[in-house]
Chains A and B, each alone.
Chain A
Amino acid sequence: MTEHFSALILLMPLFGALLVTLLGRERRTACWLTALVCLAASSAFAIGNICQVLASKSGDLRYRMGGWQESAGYEVGIELRVDMLAALVVAMVVLVGFVNIIFAKTRVGSEMKDKVAFFYALKQLLIVGLCGIVMTNDAFNLYVLIEITSLTSYALIAMGNRRAALSSFNYIIMGTIGASFYLLGVGYLYIKTGTLNIDDISSVMQSGDLWAHPSIMIAFVLIMLGIWTKMAFFPLHGWLPNAYSYAPGVVGSFMAPLMTKVMVYVMLRVMLWLFGGEYVYSSGHIWGELIIWMSIIAIIAGSFLALACTDIKKMLTYLIVAEVGYMVGGAWLMDGAGILGSMYHILSDAAMTFCLFLAASIVILRTGDHRLTAFTGLFRSMPLTMTGFTVGALSMIGLPPTCGFFSKWYLISGAIEVGHWSYVAALLFSSLVNAVIFFRIIERAYFGRIEGVESLPVDADGSPPVVLDRVPYSMLLPLLMAAGSVLLVGIYNEVLAGWLRAAIPSL
């Protein structure tokens, strides 16, 4: 049984989604319970998967779908490949999904009305897609799974108001261009190598010495352009802020931490395993330096755009754009520490973005106001929520012992090792801007005065919410779990970094 863990991680939410649609839109609690149980099982399998990777000698698990053995050294079927990085990212995806299901319980009724079952189904299918992306070792299968995540997120975003529908439409246009470029890049690789398995493509390119061919370079550029569009790397970020900030609250708080991070993972996968560090970082290409400068621009532009925002969710989405810049820059530093920082930042950024989005959703629900001024005096009325928010904020700024500090630490030490001082300066600048942004909010929340505390809007199904902070436990608990994970990922950074370091292939 244990060897099937990687397949079972995917299958649990898949069957969960099907069951939810069969249950129908009347049985909301049953739908919620199904989703909860399936994701809990999936989380358990994901954690078991981490243990298995740790126990395995080679450091990566392979699972052949359909049991097809390789023929003459080539995979004829589709293979899953789970190394430490993949195991951690998968665990991150399902755990965030699981916690978010708890969080969604009280909100989903009023935000989705009659469509609760569809929401749970689409959400679980999104998790299936994300887990599949992380684990697959087949370049074309990756495309199918990218499209699964895209289609579910288009639908989930468009379930919001009319502005959400419009931003979802723009997301479709951008997302299709991105995915098609990726598909085209895979096609170019297929023409030159005749296989689709990532390891096999890599070894054919190695043995056939295809590196000098211009078509390989163009395939790389196409794949990168596609992935950057999907992860909202700066000049291609146009779809992200609107899509995530106008999406329904329960959707945004789930997609914002995961989508861009998983695409960063795909980028690392393509760079280090498909093409290999030797090719990507070889000095013959002009792109290395160029892309670091692009990420510096992304970091600075994202920070400035965030600074200019008065809407809390928009501000957070622009911070995501800046964070994507961190990770892309780190990955291109041509240095083990930079790559490690980039990998570690995938985990820590997911934790802190999740924490901040949950806190922001609670505040918006509670005050009915999505501007930054809504935070005035909130430490008095909602101390626990604000504690969670502060933990996330401190991590964004990069103060120890939160995970944000350590990921910045790895990134900066990587940049210093290769002597890329402008990247260091951009990181520090962005920390400074984050400090300005968040201390402004925290100061307002701590010292600001507000008279009277309104009552919580009663839920659509009429159940009176349990009051602590005047927020239902089902929302407060996920926030505290997210805040706890920010601290845990930070405190155990040595362990995580050790695991991840083993996963980096030699450059």
Chain B
Amino acid sequence: MEFLAAGFIEENIVPKFNYWVYVILMMIGLFAMITKNNLIKKLIGMAIFQTAIILFYVSIGVKAESGIPILGHEQHHEIVEEGRASSEVIKKEKFANPLPHVLMLTAIVVGVSTLGLALAISQRIYGSFNTLEEDEILDQLRPGGHD
């Protein structure tokens, strides 16, 4: 039994730890979004949830032993002098995949915008209900409540 568990960890968790990390983070966020009563705590959950997805995307762009997807100065000058780069000059193993980074820049922007708008709306809710606890708000809205 113990041997099996060790084998499972070695095969499925260690080489793929990035997926486990993102899933655990994401589930923490999702749990907060579903179950928390306070609207701001829900938003904190939402931020964790979105960040976990960003982590996931960025982690799939990683290649072992590669650097950032930007040409170095010397390499750039070399290419400028030659006029055109061939795949011998630029080795694609040396550069991380640029696409996930671009996508996540978009996702970050979307996350920030959603969060900002949600904060504005929760401020309005606080302004008119004087509380951010969901059950208290629903109490006020019930016919026969304070409303």
Contacts and interface: CB of A to CB of B under 8 A. Distances in A.
In-complex A–B contact (CB below 8 Å): yes
Interface stretch (A93-101, A147-155, A265-273, A469-477): A147-155
Interface string A183-226: 11001001100001000000000000000000000000000000
A183 B46 contact: no
A184 B53 contact: yes
A113 B128 CA distance: 18
B60 A169 contact: no
Interface stretch (A53-61, A172-180, A281-289): A172-180
Nearest to B19: A191
Contact of B60 (A140, A151, A173, A187): A187
A179 to B, nearest CB: 8
Nearest to A152: B117
Interface stretch (B3-11, B74-82, B106-114): B106-114
A299 to B, nearest CB: 27
B33 A177 contact: yes
A165 interface: yes
Interface in B55-83: 56-57, 60
B128 A165 contact: yes
Pick from B39, B124, B129 the residue with the most CB of A within 10 Å: B124
Contact of B30 (A151, A169, A172, A177): A177
B27 interface: no
B125 interface: yes
Pick from A144, A180, A191 the residue with the most CB of B within 10 Å: A180
Contacts of A102: none
B36 to A, nearest CB: 10
B68 to A, nearest CB: 20
A158 interface: yes
A168 B141 CA distance: 15
B118 A165 contact: no
Contact of A172 (B100, B110, B114, B124): B114
Contact of A163 (B46, B110, B114, B141): B141
A428 B122 CA distance: 43
A158 B121 contact: yes
Pick from A165, A184, A196 the residue with the most CB of B within 10 Å: A165
A169 B39 contact: yes
B118 A190 contact: no
Contact of A162 (B106, B120, B128): B128
A191 B22 CA distance: 15
B66 to A, nearest CB: 16
A166 interface: yes
Contacts of B117: 151, 154-155, 172
Nearest to A141: B106
Contacts of B53: 180, 183-184, 187
A176 B114 contact: yes
A370 to B, nearest CB: 15
Interface in B75-108: 99-100, 103, 106-107
B60 A180 contact: no
A441 B57 CA distance: 53
Given A162-B129, A187-B56, A169 B114 contact: no
Contacts of B30: 177
Interface residues of B, number: 30
A169 B122 contact: yes
A162 B146 CA distance: 14
Contacts of B107: 183
Contact of B124 (A147, A162, A176, A191): A162
Contact of A144 (B100, B106, B125, B128): B106
A3 B129 CA distance: 53
Given A140-B103, A180-B49, A184-B53, A165 B121 contact: yes
B146 to A, nearest CB: 13
Nearest to A165: B124
A176 B39 contact: no
Nearest to A150: B114
Interface in B127-147: 128-129, 137, 141
Nearest to A76: B99
A166 B131 CA distance: 12
A469 B137 CA distance: 40
B125 A166 contact: yes
A158 to B, nearest CB: 5
A428 to B, nearest CB: 36
Given A180-B50, A187-B60, A173 B125 contact: no
A417 B20 CA distance: 46
Nearest to B102: A140
A176 B117 CA distance: 12
Contact of A190 (B60, B113, B129): B60
Nearest to A175: B114
B103 A184 contact: no
Given A165-B124, A166-B125, A169-B118, A176 B60 contact: no
Contacts of A172: 46, 114, 117-118, 121
7 contacts: A144-B106, A151-B114, A163-B141, A166-B129, A166-B137, A169-B39, A173-B46
Interface of A: 140, 144, 147, 150-151, 154-155, 158, 162-163, 165-166, 168-169, 172-173, 176-177, 180, 183-184, 187, 190-191, 196
Interface of B: 30, 33, 39, 42, 46, 49-50, 53, 56-57, 60, 99-100, 103, 106-107, 110, 113-114, 117-118, 120-122, 124-125, 128-129, 137, 141
Given A151-B114, A158-B120, A176-B49, 13 more contacts: A144-B106, A154-B118, A154-B121, A155-B117, A166-B129, A166-B137, A169-B39, A169-B122, A172-B118, A177-B49, A180-B50, A184-B56, A187-B56
Q: Sorted from nearest, which 6 A-B pairs have the closest CB atoms?
A: A162-B128, A165-B124, A147-B110, A158-B121, A172-B118, A165-B125
